[in-house]
Amino acid sequence: MSLSTLGLFVVAGLASLFMAWVIGAGSSGATPFAPAVGANAISTLRAALVVGLLGFAGAVVQGANVSEAVGRGLVGGVSLPATGVILVLLIGASLMAIGIKTGYPIATAFTVTGSVVGVGLALGGDPVWPKYLQIGFVWVLTPIVGGGLGYGIARVLPRADVPERYSVPALAALVGIVLANVDFAYLGPGRTAGSLVDLSQQALPIGAVAAAVAISLSVALSVAALVSWDIRRDLSGGLRRFLLAMGSLVAFSAGGSQVGLAVGPLLPLFAEEGIVPVSAILVGGGFGILVGSWTGAPRMIKSLAQDYSSLGPRRSIAALVPSFLIAQFAVLLGVPVSFNEIVVSGIIGSGVAVGGRGAIDAEKIIRTVGAWAGSLLLALALGYGIVVALGA
């Protein structure tokens, strides 16, 4: 490898680390615990510490799917060279910086996806329409599903005829079922990814379907029983602890989802060249998210917590439960998603349930959606146009 090529690889790696820092310092590092801080369930600095550790853990054990999709699944027939990777990350980081400066909510998922597709197509790659349809499907349904679930949960939790000693454990059981079935690194055969259900199926002397049902129900009932016991002995404290648990799960899911936006473009460059294994790339991206969360997220958490201070623990739970479910669904599919879109959708749904349509700022929603769509199209156009212009 020539010295100039090595230099490009180093620059690409540093650009990826910077993007990971931006992700950790930005919305994905702040959003999961901002509702909990706003509800006075945890301090700002402690939230930043916890979200950094959980984001790192999520990146390492759940980051492969989205990283593979961003690195190899968005454009067919071509791998991004070092200069292309640098360009993708510079476009994403620049648009994020513009969003922070102007106050427009630019989402990393939209900018990185658009720039990868734009650069890849300009280099002669083929569009991968099935993946684009899958991504578009998740992006469009996220506010509908997230808002709908947030609305439904927020309508149920304060009801006198559905005591919280029953409703909150039911939510915990749903979360437990998901946890039993999501994939984690090294739990599968041969240290591949696998779920708790997969791990248990190998040990139980019963059929695969029966084992999956038995393990899922066992985890769900165990989690529900623990939450029920905690709420029965201390209602306000139990709600606060469940809120913190949901914030932790969302932070973990954010690491597993968002790390792919930072390190995904590196996979074809580093892994295919045999320079760095995928696991090490994920660790590096997780470290960048960790540092970003510890150094940059406290200010963002404090700012967002002021916006979320009126939520209270029940509305915060109503926003975070669908956020966790949607995030894990996206990780399973390998779809890059915006955590701003996920969490804000749940907050809007829970807000409508409590305050009616007057709780919605229609102008702000339109501005946000416009910024998301505009950043996707702008990133795609910049990636394609810059490559074409330099090639000319």
Give the domain extent around 112: 3-391
Residue 136 CA to residue 187 CA, distance in Å, equals 30
Number of structural domains in the chain? 1
Statement: residue 359 has pLDDT above 60: no
CA distances to 152, 231, 282 from 167, in Å: 12, 11, 37
pLDDT of residue 357: 63
Statement: residue 1 has pLDDT above 60: no
Q: Which residue matches tokens 């349509």?
A: 357
Of 300 and 90, more confident: 90
8 Å CB contact between 301 and 32:
no
Statement: residue 356 has pLDDT above 70: no
- The overall average pLDDT reported for the chain is 84
8 Å CB contact between 345 and 142:
yes
**Hey, is 353 helix, strand or coil?**
helix
Q: What is the mean pLDDT of residues 199-221?
A: 80
Statement: residue 386 has pLDDT above 70: yes
Q: pLDDT of 104-123, one tens digit each?
A: 667 888 999 999 999 999 99
pLDDT confidence bin for 101, thresholds 50/70/90: low
- Scanning 106-128, the segments in alpha helix (DSSP H) are 108-122
Statement: residue 274 has pLDDT above 70: no
Q: What is the mean pLDDT of residues 186-193?
A: 73
Report the range of poorest mean pLDDT among 198-207, 223-232, 291-300: 198-207
pLDDT confidence bin for 271, thresholds 50/70/90: low
Statement: residue 381 has pLDDT above 80: yes
pLDDT confidence bin for 280, thresholds 50/70/90: confident
pLDDT of residue 129: 93
Of 86 and 207, more confident: 86
Sequence letter at residue 155: R
Tell how far CA 132 is from the center of its chain. Answer: 18
- Percent of residues, the chain, with pLDDT higher than 70: 88
Using CA atoms in the order 251, 252, 257, 259, what is the torsion angle rounded to 10 degrees?
Answer: 90
pTM for the full model?
0.89
pLDDT confidence bin for 221, thresholds 50/70/90: very high
Residue 332 CA to residue 41 CA, distance in Å, equals 30
Statement: residue 392 has pLDDT above 60: no
Residue 15 CA to residue 252 CA, distance in Å, equals 23
pLDDT confidence bin for 190, thresholds 50/70/90: low
- Scanning 31-128, the segments in alpha helix (DSSP H) are 34-38, 44-62, 64-72, 82-102, 108-122
Residue 322 CA to residue 333 CA, distance in Å, equals 17
Contacts of 274 (CB under 8 A, 6+ apart): none
DSSP classification of residue 268:
I
Of 165, 169, 155, 73, whose CA–CA distance to 116 is shortest?
Answer: 73
pLDDT of residue 169: 95
**Hey, is 272 helix, strand or coil?**
coil
8 Å CB contact between 115 and 384:
no
pLDDT of residue 384: 93
Statement: residue 3 has pLDDT above 90: no
pLDDT of residue 371: 81
Dmax (CA) of the chain: 72
Contacts of 117 (CB under 8 A, 6+ apart): 74, 75, 127, 132, 380, 383
Residue 242 tokens read as 């469940």
Burial track 19-48 (b if 16+ CB lie within 10 A, e otherwise): bbbbbbbbbbbbbbbbbbbbbebbebeebb
- How buried is 151 (Cβ within 10 angstroms: 0-12 exposed, 13-18 middle, 19+ buried)? buried
Of 204 and 35, more confident: 35
